[in-house]
Each structure stands twice: as C-alpha cells, then as structure tokens.
C-alpha cells in the first residue's frame, strides 16, 4: 500500500473544490485528523454525544457517466455531497483508464472535490495508452470523512469470460469506535449466480477472520429473491430489509426494476434508516443509510453520556 502525505483539514463544498486544482491495488490519501463529522461538529452536530451514528452510501458511478453516457464527474460529486455521507463505496471507477473518462484519476478527483480521504482498488490494471503515461486502471473506491487505514484489495475468484473482481477494505475509527468498510462489485451476468456465490463466499471468509464490526457496500448484481442472497446474509444483515421502505430498486434509473445495490452490516451495527435517492448522474441509483456503531465502552448511549 502506498500512502500519500497528509493534507490540512479542509471540508469543502463542491463549488469551492471545483475552483481548486482538481496504486495499483489500493491507495489512501489522508484527510483531516478528525474529519468534518466528528466530535459533534459540522453537519451532524445535532447527534447525541455518545452516538457513533454514521451515514454510509453505495454508488455505482458508471465511470462518471449518466444513462446517456454523458461524462460529468462534478455532477457525481454534487450528488454525493447532498447526502452528507461519512463514508461511501464507489464501483466502476476509472483511474487513467481512457478517453471515456478523460484519463482522470476519478477517485482522487472526487476525494479532492469533497474534502475526503480515499482508497482506490484496481481490479483491472493495463499498460499505459502511451509511453510515459500512467497505468490504466479500473475498479472500486472508498471515500471517507474520517481517516482511512490499512487500505487493501483482495482479488475474488474469477471464471472463464469473467472480469476480475475484488474486495476493497479499509479501517476507520469514529470517536473511538472501530469499523471496517468493505466494497465490492460482483460478476454481472444473470446466469453467473454460482460465480457470485463463490465470490461472496470468499468475502465471508475475509470478514469472518476479523474481530471488528463490518459494513459492506456494493453492486452485488443479484436481487433479494436470488439464490445468492443467502450467501450475502450469512454474516451480514441487509440494511434495506431492516429499515428501508418500499422496493429499494436501484437499477436502472429510467425504469428501476431491481434491487442489486446493497448496504450490509454485521449484527453488532444497528441500522437506523435507509433510502434510495433518485439521482440521474449514473446508470444506478445509490443506496444511503444511517447506521449506529457499537460504543467503544460497550455501554448504551444513555449510560455512557458522562464518559464520552
């Protein structure tokens, strides 16, 4: 893992960030020490002092292009900013990939626009288009208002005719509460359900080996009535099933008919709310949820207020 030098705290609006100058497997760009949502300051300042409630999102950004294939990364950033997220997992993220995304490092650009830390996970890695240029990469990213640590990417089982997929993960701490965030994008064709099961079984092995609370976000390419769903919920609870209202369809925005984008949480994390914002900057709707992390002391919010 390559770690870049820390930059000063600057939670910024998209408008301000756009005026500024805009790893192979996983890289991290440290943000401010506490992030804009910590210690009762910033947009979430009304939260109870003992709460470790965070806003989490999953968003397949379709390399920054909308349903008409119009590239607009600034529009993606504006949508993300409007959800006031603490951490978000992005899928289909280009890094110097090609003309379709103007050869941009999309994770770094979005992190800069939003004043967030980020990890990038390359699942495809190609030679540069021209000598002396950057390597062409495609994969997933995690962006966070809190510093990310131990960023890594684990390749998942592949199959003939399949695109390489991976499990990105990073650790963060929210006022003493540790959590690991996972992000993945499973193989896509409908007839490949057995391969999605195999891929998520590999995910479960990684999660089972950790003693930290875990949140998994991602485009899992399978609906809740699929044979894969039982594998998704072996170690995780489906946040939408717990607190979402309605069908939660995320694909595709023109006429959504399927729920294939998920936020999953280990049972020690309490879902509070979930929604699917209707935005049209990609070919997926996102999923956004509020989750409460276990208090580091193991006490309830009421009993621990004086110790926080």
Structural domain contains residue 108: yes
The tally of domains found in the chain comes to 1
Residue 29 belongs to some domain of the structure: no
Range of the domain at 221: 53-307
In a domain, 95, yes or no: yes
Residue 112 domain flag: yes
pLDDT at residue 297, as a whole number: 79
Place of tokens 């946040």: 239
The domain that contains 290 carries what CATH number?
Answer: 3.60.10.10
295 found inside a domain: yes
Which of 42-46, 101-105, 127-131, 167-171 comes out lowest in average pLDDT?
42-46
Give, in degrees to the nearest 5, the angle at Cα 295 between 185 and 298.
120
**pLDDT in the model for residue 129:** 83
Binned at pLDDT 50, 70 and 90, residue 29 comes out as very low
Provide the pLDDT confidence category of residue 13 given band limits of 50, 70 and 90: very low
| 261 within a domain of the structure (yes/no) | yes
**102, 100, 65, 52: which is closest to 213 by C-alpha?**
52
Over the stretch 30-44, which tens digit does the pLDDT of each residue have? Answer: 433 333 333 333 334
């Amino acid at each position: 893992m390559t770690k870049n030098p820390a930059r000063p705290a600057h939670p910024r609006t998209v408008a301000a960030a756009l005026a500024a100058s805009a790893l192979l497997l996983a890289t991290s760009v440290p943000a401010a020490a506490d992030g804009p949502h910590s210690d009762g300051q910033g947009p979430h300042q009304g939260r109870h002092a003992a709460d470790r409630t965070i806003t989490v999102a999953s968003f397949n950004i379709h390399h920054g292009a909308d349903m008409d294939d119009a590239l607009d990364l600034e529009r993606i950033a504006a949508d993300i900013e409007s959800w006031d997220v603490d951490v978000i997992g992005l899928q289909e993220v280009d890094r110097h990939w090609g003309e379709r995304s103007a050869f941009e490092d999309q994770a770094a650009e979005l992190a800069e626009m939003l004043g967030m830390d980020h990890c990038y996970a390359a699942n495809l890695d190609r030679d540069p288009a021209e000598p002396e240029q950057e390597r062409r990469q495609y994969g997933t990213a995690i962006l966070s208002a809190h510093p990310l640590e131990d960023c890594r990417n684990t390749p998942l089982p592949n199959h003939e005719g399949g695109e390489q997929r991976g499990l990105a993960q990073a650790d963060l701490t929210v006022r003493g509460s540790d959590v690991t965030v996972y992000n993945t994008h499973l193989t896509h064709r409908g007839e490949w359900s057995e391969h999605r099961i195999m891929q998520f079984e590999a995910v479960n092995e990684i999660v089972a080996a950790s003693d930290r609370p875990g949140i998994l976000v991602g485009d899992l390419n399978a609906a809740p009535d699929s044979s894969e769903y039982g594998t998704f919920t072996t170690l995780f609870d489906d946040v939408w099933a717990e607190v979402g209202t309605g069908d939660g369809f995320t694909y595709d925005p023109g006429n959504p008919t399927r729920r294939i984008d998920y936020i999953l949480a280990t049972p020690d994390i309490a879902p509070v709310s979930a929604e699917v914002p209707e935005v049209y900057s990609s070919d997926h709707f996102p999923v956004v949820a509020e989750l409460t992390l276990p208090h580091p002391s193991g006490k309830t919010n009421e009993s621990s207020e004086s110790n926080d």
